[in-house]
Amino acid sequence: MSVTFAKGFRAAGAAAGIKPSGALDLSVVIAEEPAPAAAVFTRNGAAAAPVRLSRRHMEISQGTIRGVTLNSGCANAATGEVGDRAAYDMAAAVAGALGCEVTEVLVCSTGPIGPQLPMDKILPAMQLLVARAEPSPSAGRQAAAGLMTTDTFIKEAAVSGLGGFRVGGMAKGAAMIRPSMATMLAVVTTDAVSSVQRLKGVLSEAVEDTFNTINIDGCESTNDTVILMASGRSGIEPSPEELTKGVRTVCAQLARDIVADAEDCTRVVTIRVSGAADDGSARRMGMAIADSDLVRCSFYGGDPNWGRLVAALGACGEPLDASRIDITYQGTAVARGGIHTGVDLSAVEPLLAGDFAVDVAVGDGPGTARILTSDLTPGYVTFNAEPS
Q: Which of residues 142-161 bind its own copies (CB under 8 A)?
A: none
Binding segment for its own copies (CB under 8 A), chosen from 92-100, 135-143, 199-207, 370-378, is 370-378
C-alpha dist (Å) from residue 374 to 33, 175, 186, 239: 40, 11, 20, 35
> Applying CB under 8 A, does 315 fall inside the site for its own copies?
yes
| Cβ contact 373:216 at 8 Å | yes
From the CB of 174, what's the least distance to its own copies, in Å? 12
From the CB of 348, what's the least distance to its own copies, in Å? 10
The rounded distance, in Å, linking the Cα atoms of 215 and 273 is: 15
> Applying CB under 8 A, does 21 fall inside the site for its own copies?
no
> Applying CB under 8 A, does 378 fall inside the site for its own copies?
yes
Binding segment for its own copies (CB under 8 A), chosen from 57-65, 90-98, 101-109, 377-385, is 377-385
The rounded distance, in Å, linking the Cα atoms of 186 and 173 is: 9
Find the distance separating the first CA and the last CA of the chain, reported in whole Å.
31
**Phi-psi domain of 379 (left: phi exceeds 0; alpha: psi -120 through 50; beta: other):** alpha
> Applying CB under 8 A, does 12 fall inside the site for its own copies?
no
Quote the DSSP letter at residue 21. T
Determine whether 97 is exposed, middle or buried from the number of CB atoms within 10 Å of its CB (0-12, 13-18, 19+): buried
Nearer to its own copies, 94 or 265 (CB): 265
- 79 is annotated as an active-site residue: no
From the CB of 307, what's the least distance to its own copies, in Å? 3
**106-125: contacts with its own copies (CB under 8 A):** 112-116
**254-293: contacts with its own copies (CB under 8 A):** 291-293
From the CB of 364, what's the least distance to its own copies, in Å? 17
Nearer to its own copies, 9 or 356 (CB): 356
Reduced to 3 states, what is the DSSP secondary structure of residue 225? strand
The rounded distance, in Å, linking the Cα atoms of 333 and 357 is: 12
The rounded distance, in Å, linking the Cα atoms of 186 and 172 is: 7
Using alpha carbons, select from 240, 230, 242, 227 the residue that is nearest to residue 164.
242
> Applying CB under 8 A, does 220 fall inside the site for its own copies?
yes
From the CB of 231, what's the least distance to its own copies, in Å? 34
> Applying CB under 8 A, does 205 fall inside the site for its own copies?
no
Nearer to its own copies, 128 or 315 (CB): 315
Cβ atoms within 10 Å of 8's Cβ, excluding its own: 21
Size of the site for its own copies (CB under 8 A): 74
Binding segment for its own copies (CB under 8 A), chosen from 17-25, 139-147, 163-171, 309-317, is 309-317
Dihedrals phi, psi of 221, to nearest 5 degrees? -80, 160
Element of type H or E holding 30:
strand 26-41
Query: Residues 349-368: x/- map of binding to its own copies (CB under 8 A)?
Result: x-------------------
| Residues with Cβ within 8 Å of residue 106, at least 6 apart in sequence | 37, 39, 50, 53, 54, 57, 58, 65, 67, 68, 69, 91, 225, 227
> Applying CB under 8 A, does 325 fall inside the site for its own copies?
yes
> Applying CB under 8 A, does 235 fall inside the site for its own copies?
no
Binding segment for its own copies (CB under 8 A), chosen from 43-51, 60-68, 139-147, 197-205, is 43-51
> Applying CB under 8 A, does 74 fall inside the site for its own copies?
no
Query: Residues 328-347: x/- map of binding to its own copies (CB under 8 A)?
Result: -------x-xxxx----xx-
From the CB of 369, what's the least distance to its own copies, in Å? 18
Query: Going edge to edge, which strands form the sheet with 367-374?
Result: 214-215, 367-374, 268-276, 356-361, 326-329, 332-336, 339-340
From the CB of 47, what's the least distance to its own copies, in Å? 7
Candidates 42, 110, 149, 183; catalytic one: 183
Residues marked as catalytic: 183
